[in-house]
Every structure is written in C-alpha cells, then in structure tokens.
Amino acid sequence: MVTVLMTVKISKGWETWSKMAKSLEPQMNEVGAKMIWAGCNADETAIYALAEMQNPEQIKTFGERPDIVAIREAAGADVSSTTPIAQIGKYFLG
C-alpha cells in the first residue's frame, strides 16, 4: 500500500465536493483504496487529499474511470487537474 497526497481544482465548493467524495467510498473500498483525510483551501477552489491505495498508478486507473469521472465532474472537480504532490511515508493525525 502507498499513501499519496494530491490536489484537485474544484468549482462548486467544499460541501459539494466532500459529499461526492464520501459517496465514492464504497467504490474506493472495492478496489482497495481509501481516503484518509481531505481539506480545501480558503476560497474553496482546490482540495488536498491524503489517500491510500495499492500503487501510485491507481490514482489514474480509478480516478479516470468514465463512471467515476462523471461523478467527479458533476461535483465540480476538474478531473484533468488531479495532481499527485508526494508519496507520503509516515504521518499522524492529531
């Protein structure tokens, strides 16, 4: 398993994006991935997410599935802006 910090531009604000992300949890779990943490910038135009997955390529294979793209885009995510920032080795939640 790998943990990746990523960012995505959003256009419909945090509430819309976070509801969509929570709704995708079952599909993520099916492929062995999960969202650990997510937050947004002050003007709610970008999210930052810490996700765990089988391998780094899973970001693309899951996040770019046509059914998942449609759900993400409907919630205001700019799917093409999905950018892995760093693979995270260790972290803690306070």
Question: Is the predicted pLDDT of residue 87 greater than 80, yes or no?
Answer: yes
Domain count, the chain: 1
Q: Which CATH number characterizes residue 48's domain?
A: 3.30.70.100
Distance between CA atoms of residues 36 and 8, nearest Å: 16
Eight-state DSSP code of residue 83: E
Strands 2-9 and 46-53 turn out to be antiparallel
pTM of structure: 0.90
Whether 64 is in a domain gets the answer yes
What pLDDT, on a 0 to 100 scale, did the predictor assign at position 29? 92
Rounded to an integer, the average pLDDT of 71-79 is 97
Whether 54 is in a domain gets the answer yes
Catalogue the E-assigned strands of the chain: 2-9, 34-40, 46-53, 83-88
Whether 93 is in a domain gets the answer no
For the stretch 11-58, pLDDT in tens is: 999 999 999 999 999 999 999 899 999 999 999 999 999 999 988 778
Domain interval for residue 77: 2-88
What pLDDT, on a 0 to 100 scale, did the predictor assign at position 51? 94
What pLDDT, on a 0 to 100 scale, did the predictor assign at position 2? 93
Whether 52 is in a domain gets the answer yes
Whether 94 is in a domain gets the answer no
N-to-C CA span, the chain: 22
For the stretch 45-68, pLDDT in tens is: 999 999 999 887 787 788 889 999
